[in-house]
């Protein structure tokens, strides 16, 4: 795994991860690297407050990795990461206390789109 991805994944976890039990932030001492592959990283998190154990898996987008082979794209990617804190990592927090985003896509929206696609006979039908 390229260092820029590795570093960004760790920085993002430290900045954004909250313990699913007590909502405390992770610190450097609570992270253990369980495995590193070419495009993925497995991290064990031990909450220093309540003792909860979590496992995070991050995967780097293959297209992003290919883009970093040139200096121009590497600089562009570094600027993108600095400005948006975006990585191809997935952090799952199943805490019921986590607030729901009111702008999130709802199940009903997905069902409506599915039905619209199923019933459409042309692109014009979809647009109407």
Q: Where are the domains of the chain?
A: 3-96
pLDDT level of residue 88 (50, 70, 90 thresholds): very low
Q: What's the pTM?
A: 0.49
CA distance 85 to 77: 11
* Helix, strand, coil tally for the chain in percent (to 5): 45, 20, 40
Instruction: Please write the tens of the pLDDT for every residue from 29-56.
Output: 999 999 998 888 899 999 999 999 999 9
């Amino acid at each position: 795994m390229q260092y820029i991805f590795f570093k960004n994944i760790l920085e993002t976890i430290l900045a954004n991860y909250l313990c699913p039990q007590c909502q405390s932030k992770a610190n450097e001492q609570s992270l253990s690297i369980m495995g590193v592959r070419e495009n993925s990283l497995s991290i064990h998190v031990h909450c220093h407050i309540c003792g909860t154990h979590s496992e995070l898996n991050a995967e780097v987008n293959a297209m992003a990795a290919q883009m970093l082979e040139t200096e121009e794209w590497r600089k562009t990617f570094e600027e993108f990461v600095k400005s948006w804190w975006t990585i191809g990592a997935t952090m799952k927090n199943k805490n019921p206390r986590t607030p729901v985003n009111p702008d999130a896509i709802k199940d009903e929206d997905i069902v409506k789109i599915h039905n619209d696609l199923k019933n459409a006979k042309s692109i014009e039908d979809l647009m109407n």
